[in-house]
Structure 1
Amino acid sequence: MPAAPALHRNMRPAQAFVDLATQDLSAVEDGLDLVLRRDQAEDVHALRVALRHLRAVAWAFGPIQPARVKARWKQALRDVADAASDVRDWDVFVTETLAPALADQPGDPVLVALIETVQARRATAREAMVTRLSRYRQAPLPTLHRDLLHLAGRKSRGKLGAFARKRIRKARNRVRALTRTARDGRTDHVHKLRIGNKRLRYAIEALSDVLPKRYRKRLRKQLEARQGELGAVIDASVARRLMAECLGVSTADSITEATANPTPP
């Protein structure tokens, strides 16, 4: 993996965005090539992580992007992430739920039959994913590269140091608000908190060179610890939904109560 672009507090925010987004967009394209070329669960996961990084960078630098560019990036990156989401859900279901259960009860006919059903549904999801992602490789990703070329010559006011601190404060305040909402235990609220938590964490990682130590060290560690906790809650909710799908029963997943009791960072 290439070294992260060097940032400094006095550089223009637009140039920082171009540098960071160029590297992250290349990582997304590399991940996309792997996903289309071979069928490996870790490749799908790596693609989604690369997308999260790029989406966090795009959000962080939203104020310096023209409105049309901002909307195009948001939609394009969301579409690519959505295309891979079903396959990733099935992979996590197998790895975190079914595989451990089968290890405890080797050869159990119910578990074996369930895994066969899951594998068939994952195969169908992968076919749909490949169809969608094959289109995205041609467009809109090349358009995003052109956006970066135009932004590279665009003048932006202010300095990156102050800009970065302001954006991180905004993201942190958003996470605090989401934390208060998620205390009701609703899975959909916990899911939104998890997304906000990831965005703040990845934005801090991207802007680490120009942020105060309290963000780079203490807050980042808090976010990493919470991410695992929130992830376990959401993974359990998704596993419940997929199990119900395999069994042909309905589930009111959107109002399932979570077990997390988040505290604000």
Structure 2
Amino acid sequence: MRAANLPIQLHPRMRVIDAFMALADAGLAAVSDQLDALHRRDHPDDVHALRVAARQLRAVCWAFGPALPRPVRARWNDCLRQLAQAANDVRDWDVFIAETLRPALDSQPEDPVLAALHDTALTRRHYARATMVAQLAEYQHWPLPVLHRDLTHLNRAGPRGAGAAARDHLADFARRRVRRGRKRVRALMRAARSEELARVHRFRLASKRLRYVIEALEPVLAKRYARRLHGKLVKRQGRLGRLVDGAVARRLMMECLHAPVAQAPGAAETALAASAASAPGAAPAQDRSATISP
């Protein structure tokens, strides 16, 4: 397995299956590094980095899907989704504590309700991390070794054991997949205009996936086109993230208060307002749902 930080040499005329094996090997190394970091220490950045590594690798699998055997494609998609989801709860608490509760406490340090909310959130985050670490320890024994085995088999079989597009040249294939991803993002963007949070969330995830695909395939894409599209996706993610994070913050606030959303005490709005005020230029997110985790 290659080191996660070694550069990957992609060139326009290389076979698609060879490009996938190089990117997937590096992606598995990145996931393994983040799993090791999570077991060594407890830091919010490591939780975020694991989710990013898993989603980047999952985006690579989506991009190269037509070149992969169907069972391999399904197995990688399921395993990597489960891996990212294992860290969801901890990441939600980390963002809630850092961006909602701590700014509120900085604004009103003597407020006993905010202090109690902060302590409750830290406790729940502690239990969420214990659950995550137990799940991730299992993943290191299975299914991650199965993904390494898949790469070994693909390497031995070459294009004969892969999908229909395995022999294509990478540059042409990459352009087709980016166009496909952009078409999907546009369709979800139209659906998300209703501002229903579930649709916004799907739009956000598809935008992230396309961003990661562009980053992975950047060496063989037209530079100006890739740079312009990537910039739009990054800018859009900030706006969508604030909307989704606001809804998640309200859900976690209600969990801490043991109250239904409609009966939330005033402390909840105080904390949310204080955190919003601490972020210049960030508009408060509308509370359209309290059930979606980013």
TM-score of the superposed pair, with normalisation by structure 2: 0.84
Question: Which residue in 2 is equivalent to 1:64?
Answer: 67
Query: Which structure 2 segments of 5+ residues have no match?
Result: 160-165, 263-285, 290-294
Further displaced range: 161-170 or 208-217: 208-217
2:288 to 257, 260, 265: 257
Is the 2:247–2:288 Cα contact (8 Å) retained in structure 1? no
Query: Which structure 1 segments of 5+ residues have no match?
Result: 259-265
Task: Count the aligned residue pairs.
Answer: 256
Question: Which residue in 2 is equivalent to 1:18?
Answer: 21
Is the 2:254–2:261 Cα contact (8 Å) retained in structure 1? yes
1:32 to 30, 35, 47: 35
What is the rounded CA distance, in whole Å, between the counterparts of 2:63 and 2:195 in structure 1? 28
Percent of paired sites with the same residue: 54
Q: What amino acid does structure 1 have at the position aligned with 2:61?
A: A
Is the 1:31–1:47 Cα contact (8 Å) retained in structure 2? yes
Quote how far apart the aligned CAs of 1:43 are.
0.8
Question: Which residue in 2 is equivalent to 1:157?
Answer: 167
Question: Which residue in 2 is equivalent to 1:127?
Answer: 130
Alignment partner of 1:207: what SS? helix
Aligned: 1:114 with 2:124: no
1:169 to 170, 179, 182: 179
Structure 1 or 2, whichever has the larger Rg, is 2
Quote how far apart the aligned CAs of 1:247 are.
1.5
What is the rounded CA distance, in whole Å, between the counterparts of 2:69 and 2:19 in structure 1? 16
What is the rounded CA distance, in whole Å, between the counterparts of 2:155 and 2:30 in structure 1? 19
Question: Which residue in 1 is equivalent to 2:270?
Answer: none
* Deviations 1:126-151 (CA, angstroms, capped at 9, x unpaired): 11111100100111111101111122
Alignment partner of 2:42: what SS? coil
Q: Using a 3 Å threshold, how does the CA distance of structure 1 residues 60 and 34 change in structure 2: closer, same or farther?
A: same
Alignment partner of 1:190: what SS? helix
TM-score of the superposed pair, with normalisation by structure 1: 0.93
Aligned: 1:180 with 2:190: yes
Question: Which residue in 2 is equivalent to 1:245?
Answer: 255
* Deviations 1:175-220 (CA, angstroms, capped at 9, x unpaired): 0000000000111111101100000000000000111124321001
> Aligned-residue CA RMSD in angstroms?
1.5
Alignment partner of 1:75: what SS? helix
What is the rounded CA distance, in whole Å, between the counterparts of 1:224 and 1:48 in structure 2? 17
Quote how far apart the aligned CAs of 1:251 are.
4.2
